[in-house]
Chain A
Amino acid sequence: NAGVTQTPKFQVLKTGQSMTLQCAQDMNHEYMSWYRQDPGMGLRLIHYSVGAGITDQGEVPNGYNVSRSTTEDFPLRLLSAAPSQTSVYFCASSYHSVNEKLFFGSGTQLSVL
């Protein structure tokens, strides 16, 4: 098992560019989520999904889109990057959405200039 795989590990964007952060898990987990972590801060939930075809907003969803067409993949899209989106992004998954431990990817460090 590879666990939760995030790509790319590093990315630099210019303001206004778009990109997709990829997240894949091979554990047949129903629940997947995206967090961002800013320096000296905890993690803040962006979007989450409790199963294929189902997504919902977390604490800080503005500027981000998600979709869940398969159980394995949960991409995060930045449609028009802004410097405020400079952060480290983590994808997490768990077998169910309730009372299950979360497995995290190793993160994507994004800089928007």
Chain B
Amino acid sequence: DAKTTQPNSMESNEEEPVHLPCNHSTISGTDYIHWYRQLPSQGPEYVIHGLTSNVNNRMASLAIAEDRKSSTLILHRATLRDAAVYYCIRDDSGGSNYKLTFGKGTLLTVNP
């Protein structure tokens, strides 16, 4: 079973907000949600992570549903540089980095 479910692709326009969904219906109370992104021809880059409440940093916001079965990565104002594959990762290992599973992610296209 996949730990998370994401759409294969999404499209957005430059300077508009983007909401990237992630479903993790089998999540347990101690599982963190991590988001990484991978720009073309680069290694993945950490975006944000959280457990229960919403999280904000300079790159994005993470909104976690009250029942924690889904979450949404929010890019407040998309730029062309945000075009990337976004990975939603459910960490059910208690935080062990070697247990993080990168699935296929969501390919975000940003139109000028």
Taking beta carbons and an 8 Å cutoff, which residues of A are in contact with B? 4, 31, 33, 35, 40-45, 48, 50, 56, 58, 90, 92, 94, 97-107
State in angstroms the CA–CA spacing of A95 and B101 once bound together: 19
Cross-chain contact A107 with B43 (CB below 8 angstroms): yes
14 contacts between A and B (CB under 8 A): A4-B43, A33-B98, A40-B104, A42-B105, A43-B44, A44-B102, A48-B98, A92-B44, A99-B32, A100-B97, A101-B49, A102-B44, A102-B100, A106-B41
A103 nearest in chain B by CB position: B46
State in angstroms the CA–CA spacing of A94 and B100 once bound together: 13
Cross-chain contact A94 with B97 (CB below 8 angstroms): yes
0/1 interface trace, chain B 65-104, chain A, CB 8 Å (1 if under): 0000000000000000000000100000011111011111
A contact patch SS: strand
A58 neighbours in B (Cβ, 8 Å): 98
Assuming A31-B97, A33-B97, A98-B97, is B42 touching A106 (CB within 8 A)? yes
Query: What is the CB-to-nearest-CB distance from A8 to chain B, in angstroms, rounded to a whole number?
Result: 15
Assuming A41-B104, A42-B101, A42-B103, is B43 touching A99 (CB within 8 A)? no
The reply on B45 being an interface residue by CB < 8 A is yes
Cross-chain contact A106 with B43 (CB below 8 angstroms): yes
State in angstroms the CA–CA spacing of A40 and B45 once bound together: 18
State in angstroms the CA–CA spacing of A111 and B80 once bound together: 30
B97 neighbours in A (Cβ, 8 Å): 31, 33, 48, 94, 97-98, 100, 102
Cross-chain contact A102 with B42 (CB below 8 angstroms): no
A102 neighbours in B (Cβ, 8 Å): 36, 44, 46, 97, 100
State in angstroms the CA–CA spacing of A98 and B97 once bound together: 6
Cross-chain contact B43 with A42 (CB below 8 angstroms): no
B44 neighbours in A (Cβ, 8 Å): 43, 90, 92, 102, 104
State in angstroms the CA–CA spacing of A97 and B94 once bound together: 11
